[in-house]
Structures are given as C-alpha cells and as structure tokens.
Amino acid sequence: MDEIPTSLMLAGCGLVAGCVVGAVARGARFCTFGAIEDWVLAEDSRRLRSWGLAIAVAMLMVQLLDAAGLARVGESFYLAADFGWLGAVLGGLLFGFGMAMVGTCGYGTLVRLGGGDLRSFVVFLVLGLTAYMTARGLTGVLRESFIEPLSWNLENLQGQGLSHLLAAALGIERATASLILGLVLPAVIFWWCFRHAEFRRAYRDIVAGVLIGATVAAGFAATGILGADPFDPQRVQSLSYVLPPGETIVYLLTFSGATVTFSVGLVVGTVVGAFLTAAAKGELRLEAFDDAREMRRHLLGAFLMGFGGVTALGCTVGQGISGMATLSMSAPLALAGIVLGAAFGLHYLVSGSLRDAFSALHVAGRQLFN
C-alpha cells in the first residue's frame, strides 16, 4: 500500500481540529466577536476572559514545543523577519469594523453556516474571495504597493518574535527566551482571567477556552512535526479563518488539479462540527437577510474582513490566538486593532454617530480591568 501523502494527513488533522472548535463554538458559545460585544455593550467580560484563557493555554503549550525544539514554530510566517506593523494595525482595525457590520468573525461565520444561516454562506463567499484576492490577486496590489513597503526588516534579530527580541537583549538562546516568555506571559494572563469571581464560576467558558487553546497548539504540532517531510514539506500553521475560506473555495473549484491542505480540512471540519452540535441541540434552522440594507451591511463587512484579515496576517483566531501563541510582535498590534475596530463598529451601529462611538471607547476600556 502506498504511503498516505503528507498533505492528506494534515488535511485530516485540520478536519479533526475544525470539528473540535466548531463543536465548542456552537455548544459553549465561544465567539470572539460575541466576547467583545458582551464587554462593550453589557460590561460582561466572562467570554472575553475565556478568549484570554485560550490565548494563555495555546501560548504555554506552543512555547513549550518551541523550547523543546519541536513543531518548527520558528518557521511560522508569524515570526518572519518582515515586521508589518502598519498592516497589523490598519488591517486589524478594518477587520474589527467589518466584524461589527457582519455580527461575527470568519470563525463565527463558519459556525453559523453549520447551523443553517444562509447569510453566513454569502459572507463566507465574499470574505473568502476577497481574502484570496488580497493575498494573491487584484486587491493585493494595494497591500503590496502602500503597506508592505513600510514594513521593518528585523533580520538582525532573525525574526519578529518577542523571543527573538528577548534573546538579543539578554544574549541568550532563543529557545531559552521562548521558555521564559512561555511561562511568564501565560501566568499573567491566567491571573487576569481568574481574578474575576464571575469567570471562576463560568465552568463552560473555562472549558471552552482550554479546549480552543489546546487545539491551536495541536495545529502547530501537527503541521510542524507531521509536516516536516523532506520530500513534501508543509507550511507551519494552525487555526485561522481569513485566507483558509478562500483556499477552500479555490480547492473546490480546482479539485482535480489541487492539493488538499490543513486549511481546507479546518474549514470543512469547523462547519461539520458546528452542524453536528446544532443538530444535537435542535438548533438547525434556515435564516436569511431581513432586507437589502442588512445584506449591504454584511457584504461590506465581509469585504473589510477579507481585506483587513489578510493585511493583518490573521483574524481574531489567526492572529488573536495562533499568532499570540507564537509570541509574534505583530499579533498584539493586530489584536488591539481588531478589538478597537469592533468596539467602534458596535458603538457606531448603536448610536449612528461617529463622535459618540469614539467617546464610548474610553468608557468601555475601563471595564476591561475592573
């Protein structure tokens, strides 16, 4: 029997990972946009802390893998020498605002699609095609012409990771720096999460955060270890939901001449996991746009998420959890931009005023640290 191709094995890993996170999102209401919405509009930070817990778990596990010399984390595109600071900030803001227009992120779009939301099918198509065009097509010209030239080259540090920076500052090995940061930073995030009494009682949110974080780490382990095939090397990556929808669309269009990947398996698995959970809970139902105005808002939001997400090198999951887990310097910038963009978009939808939306951000920011 011929050996199973590496790409097919990784597609299977992506399928399993997608089923897990799709089921968790549908069953435990783990939603990054929902977390921001709860915090901004209801002053409830429990789901936001669940998101933080996922970051901490993923970061701890990924940095332990990195320090042990496993999973080839240093080869991830998150740690490339070109530090796209402007793309991270601007792309994050655009993605966050687009997310508010749609009412969810790329990850949430697939979860809603698994439950029968036809609006999410439209968002999936527009987001995926826009992301693919921004990475490899027409709208990518804007990114390559005006944003990428302002990137900082950090080849002297051998990468844009915080571990690279710490290693250079202290004159130590990067693996040692990864271990130090991989223990200290998650500890700080754990403290922030569990200092909140209501979150300590939110067992569903705690379990969801742990499962999502562990799945992100498993994605890096799968692509880093199984993908280290000298004859068919695979890209080191984990969960992300901006470019993968576009890659999935292209794969479906060019099936006979294309190769299945971890990303394609992840997208399909997320929809499947959400569908099975929605069916088990009796939540399957078809939903469509209420009117043309809602459709226009979703189309605009999907476009902004596709363009902004690729420009920022990831979404709420791609940069917000996977990128943060690698200690990439661009990840915190992208994450901050996403949160600010989403918070601004939410206040704008509620008030209809740009001035009121700006002023409301200050009030919301204080609640985060209460």
Q: What is the pLDDT of residues 82-92, one digit of tens each?
A: 999 999 999 99
- Give residue 1's pLDDT: 37
Distance CA 89, CA 165 (A): 20
How much is the pLDDT for 364? 54
**Gap between the Cα atoms of 365 and 362, Å rounded:** 5
pTM of the model: 0.94
pLDDT of residue 361: 63
Give pLDDT tens digits for 19-71: 999 999 999 999 888 998 898 888 899 999 999 999 999 999 999 998 888 88
pLDDT of amino acid 257? 74
Host H or E run for residue 253: helix 243-253
Radius of gyration of the chain (CA): 20
Q: Which residues pair with 287 in a beta bridge?
A: 117
Closest CA to 228 of 80, 64, 70, 77: 70
Please tell me the predicted confidence (pLDDT) of residue 258. Answer: 79
pLDDT < 70 regions, the chain: 1-2, 354, 356, 358-370
State residue 347's pLDDT score. Answer: 84
Phi/psi for 86 (5° steps) reads: -70, -40
Domain ranges of the chain: 6-368
- Model pLDDT, residue 228: 85
All residues at 6 or more sequence positions from 40 whose CB lies less than 8 Å from its CB, including other chains:
342, 343, 346, 347, 360, 364
